[in-house]
Amino acid sequence: MRTRENLLKLGKVSIGIGVAAGILLLLDTYLRGFYIGVIILFGINAIVCLGVSITNSHANIFSLGFGGIMLIAAYATSLLTLPVAYKSQFLQLPLWLENAQWPFVPALIAAGIVAVFSSVVLVLPAFRLRGHYFILASIGINIVMTNIGINLRAWTHGPLGLRNIPFYTNIWWIYGILFLTIFFVWKLLHSKFGRAFVAIGKDQTLASVLGVNVVLYKIYAFIIGSFIVGIGGALWVHHIGAMNPHVFELVFVFQIIAMLAIGGSGTISGAILGAAIITFFTQLARPVQEGFILFGLKVPPLIGLIQVLIAMIIILVMIYRPQGLLGRHEIRWETLHEAVRAAHRRIRGQT
Amino acid sequence: MGLYLVQQLINAISYGSILGLLAVGYTMIYGILGLINFAHGEIFMIGAFICYFLVSLYHVPWVIAALLAVAASTVAGLLLERVVYRPCIKRKAPVLTVFIASFGASLGLRFSFMMFFTDRRRAFPIPEFFEKMYFWGEIAIGLRDIIIFVTTIVIMSLVACFIKYTRLGTAMRGVSFDTKTAQLMGINSARIIVAAFAIGSALAGISAIEYGLTFGIVNPGMGFTPGLEGFIAAVLGGIGNVPGAMIGGFLIGVGEILFVALLPPELSPLRPLFVWALLFVILFLRPTGLFRPNVKFAGIWGE
Amino acid sequence: MLLSMKDVTTGYAKAQILKDISLKVNKKEIVALVGANGAGKTTTLQCIAGVIKPWVGNVFLEEHDLASFAPYQIVAMGISYCPEGRDIFANLSVFENLRIGAYLIRDAREFKLLLDRVYSLFPRLYERRRQLSGSLSGGEQQMLAIGRALMTNPNLLLLDEPSLGLAPILVEGIYNTIQEINASGTAILLVEQNVGLALEISSRTYVFEKGEISLSGTSAELRDSDYVKASYLGIV
């Protein structure tokens, strides 16, 4: 019996992987330029959302500092993969760094590690603070990092930023990593280790009374979240090929928060759904911002319209459905089954 | 060196006034509702913009424009309360939810203005009257600085008296401390919240006029940094503590200017870092701020 | 008749606490609610004050059904609720607490009269009127809570466990004051753990058990009842 169940599971998973790979192959072959960029951006945002959700939602440490963490990680990884010629011309780095020409995977992992390191150093001291004070401090981290990025010219080339970063990211990397991340997070949340996070998230005092070392697990949650987020930043940098101190500012932080808020921050599917909605909306609505012709009337460019719309949507979601679209429900095979069955029943009932 | 310092101090006092008024607005709302009004900086910005438009486009006399600008900020704040915060409170939304909505309102307002008026920097109307300078030895004191300082002190004193001695002010302090019990005294906390928003937003409007007079620039993003620094000042002063917020504002304003004045010019761009460093240091030593917070649970969210 | 509850069933969120509660309070009476912890006495007071609403049944103040009113409106109608736990505004002085208590009193003369009445009932509060109320002793805080409740000049005062956590001599003082308050015309609905005290001071008493009223009558009758003597007074 057990083996039969396992075989069935294996079968389902393999089919799933096969289908996914097939879709990716199709997308890679037939889409070009802008559209594939959107798909890639969606993947990256999904990864970042998952990372942030571990810290912010599951362990309930509402931190906005991940923008600053991503900035450091992105800079670090760029410095490792930039061509030596560029580095020697524009920057003043220690020799080992200047000559570094790392391949993709080690650079990614380095990004993750740098992210972990920075978050431990930066955010940990703020743990003494509670609630709003902590949020304020985390906002500060973003601003401080951006400021450092602007001023530390020798390492970051100041406000002009870095260019010529190799285009390592493609659709296979992104989605491979995304699926790995989903798998990892899913396993994590269902493990004894991960359940400690969720316990802390639900009720910190209760968790500590039940023997959970709250501070330690919060640190773990932070570390894991930061690692994932750092990788997300590295993927982004190697997709765009350029870097500047303003890319992960508060506007970006808000977009990620918006993704989690819309999709539902308590679930994996929620994070991904939210990332999908906001990414596709933002990217596909871009041309509208540039101005267009409607019924013969020339509508002028309205830069910022997208942000305004997202802000309005978020406010509405927070008022009317604060738990997000999916709330606490994950999407599973069973949910799809149920939905189909319910639809079936309704149709039957009508005839 | 001494003269230079004194000169800088005079600038610092203006900046401290601006931040102090913003901080008081923040702390009132923060104290009563337990929520950060992230959009406070944008209400500040709206005040400045309205003044700019009234004077530049409609040629309204400056004083009237300034008063209308303050009124505009007040209205903006009240609308914000009505449209964003009241529905959340009615539905007993958790504080995080309200925070995200607040964040959204801030960006929404900022980008709306950016959308309609572009990010171009515009010149805030400064009547010639304000450009008069007095000289005390080698130190130049602008009439503008004097007016800003005096106005701020007067307003802050009025607010402090209001909070301490009037029926409504005492009620606000009570609601700030314990809303449920305040209800049992016949206080309609919804009305108190509206009053807090009205006063806080009006103060933001006044602060905006002062900012415009001092820095002369109006643009949609202008509320971000002063807003954040005002918030930091409020936190430093202890949440809900109005006099504390005033002092916090001056502390940051004066501190920032002195920081730039005393350190070598290469380090000037690090100015924002100073404020955050100050915040971190003070919160590290006294996690609830320099002065006593005015909420029941100074550890927020009922901890 | 001042206040009446008819067949009230209610509770918090999904937890039902009260079942079919009917009681009444007449003008200038002292009525006591007694019973074990969790029996529903505080819930009853909260229902009257408007903090929670009846799911079934009605609460009437004279002829008005209180169901549609918020707590701050019910206060304006003449009911003042002093919850257990002495929730005073610790960040304000004694005087400021009393001032907030009189939020609804617009007339300066009326305010002075009410203030003087509270100070004469509780001379200790007058002594400490400028002191930060967070630094008062337990007994003084209880006096302040009651005094503050009186500043609305209520027709009906709801008192929840005024003796809680106080030394017996203080309790005696408070109860003497409660009688004085009643003597000047305020009806009092009192929740009290100490059944003996409750029966002494009140003219009528309701006994609560598990959310229902198991026994009611004049306090004199109940004092002589064997059931009450055995279960609550420890007299066998």
Q: What are the residue boundaries of the structural domains of chain C, listed by start?
A: 3-231
**Which CATH code for domain C3-231?**
3.40.50.300
| 3+ Cβ–Cβ pairs closer than 8 Å linking B and C | yes
3-state helix, strand, coil in chain C (%, to 5): 40, 25, 30
Beta bridge partners of C64: C61
Residue among B107, B111, B280 whose CB faces A137 most closely: B280
pLDDT beyond 60 at B301:
no
Instruction: Look up the CATH number of the domain holding residue B224.
Output: 1.10.3470
Question: Taking 90 as the threshold, does the pLDDT of residue C216 lie above it?
Answer: no
- pLDDT level of residue B299 (50, 70, 90 thresholds): very low
pLDDT over 70, % of chain B: 97
Is B185's CB within 8 Å of C148's CB? yes
pLDDT for B300 equals 35
pLDDT of residue B115: 87
Q: Do B183 and C71 touch (CB under 8 A)?
A: yes
pLDDT of residue C156: 93
Is A87 within a domain? yes
pLDDT value for A315: 93
pLDDT band at C235 (very low <50, low <70, confident <90, very high): low
Chain A residues touching B31 at Cβ < 8 A:
none
User: A78-137, pLDDT tens digit by residue?
Assistant: 989 888 888 888 888 888 888 888 888 899 999 999 999 999 888 777 777 777 788 888
Q: Give the alpha-carbon dihedral of B160, B52, B275, B199, to 10 degrees.
A: 20
The DSSP element (H or E) to which B74 belongs, if any, is helix B62-80
Nearest neighbour of B187 by CB, restricted to C81, C88, C103: C103
Mutate to test the interface with C, among B89, B180, B185 (most CBs of C within 10 A): B185
B273·A254 Cβ contact <8 A: no
Chain C residues lying within 8 Å of B185, measured CB to CB: 72, 75, 100-101, 103-104, 148, 151-152
Q: Which of C12, C42, C72, C77 to mutate to test the interface with B (most CBs of B within 10 A)?
A: C72
Chain B CA closest to residue C111: B167
Residue B130 domain flag: yes
**Single-letter code of the amino acid located at A300:** P
Contact A136, B235 (CB under 8 A): yes
How confident is residue A269, by pLDDT bands cut at 50, 70 and 90? confident
pLDDT tens-digit readout, B48-70: 999 999 998 888 899 999 999 99
Least CB–CB distance from A307: residue in B87, B107, B270: B107
Does B258 fall in a domain? yes
Supply the pLDDT for residue C144. Answer: 92
**Is residue B69 within 8 Å of B48, Cβ to Cβ?**
yes
Does residue A184 sit within a domain?
A: yes
- pLDDT, position A11: 77
Burial of B131 per CB tally in 10 Å (0-12, 13-18, 19+): exposed
pLDDT of residue B1: 62
Section B246-260 average pLDDT: 88
Residue B301 lies in a domain: no
Indicate whether A119 belongs to any domain. yes
* CA-based nearest residue in chain B for residue A315: B101
Do the domain assignments include residue B16?
Answer: yes
Burial A260-289 (b: 16+ CB within 10 A, else e): bbbbbbbbbbbbbbbbbbbbeebbeeeeeb
| pLDDT tens-digit readout, C134-154 | 899 888 899 899 999 999 999
Element (H, E) at C47: helix C41-49
Over residues C48-72, the pLDDT tens digits come to 999 889 998 989 998 888 888 989 9
Instruction: Tell me which residue range forms the domain holding A145.
Output: 34-288+300-350
pLDDT band of residue A350 (cuts 50, 70, 90) is low
d(CA A325, CA C13): 25
What's the pLDDT score for residue B281? 85
Asked if the structure places residue B292 within a domain, the reply is: no
| pLDDT-above-90 percentage for chain C | 33
Three-state secondary structure along chain A?
CHHHHHHHHHHHHHHHHHHHHHHHHHHHHHCCHHHHHHHHHHHHHHHHHHHHHHHHHHCCCCCCCHHHHHHHHHHHHHHHHCCHHHHHHHCCCCHHHHCCCCCHHHHHHHHHHHHHHHHHHHHHHHHHCCHHHHHHHHHHHHHHHHHHHHHCHHHHCHHHCECCCCCCCCHHHHHHHHHHHHHHHHHHHCCHHHHHHHHHHHCHHHHHHCCCCHHHHHHHHHHHHHHHHHHHHHHHHHHHCCECCCCCCHHHHHHHHHHHHHHCCCCHHHHHHHHHHHHHHHHHCHHHHCCEEECCEEECCCCCHHHHHHHHHHHHHHHHCCCCCCCCCCCCHHHHHHHHHHHHHHHHHHC
Residue of B nearest to C80 (CA): B184
How many domains does one find in chain B? 1
CA A111 to chain centre: 14
Average pLDDT over residues A283-301: 73
CATH number of residue A184's parent domain: 1.10.3470
Tell how strand B139-142 and strand B133-136 pair up.
antiparallel
Domain of B36 in residue numbering reads as 2-285
B130-181 tens-digit pLDDT: 888 888 777 788 888 889 999 999 999 999 899 888 889 989 888 888 888 8
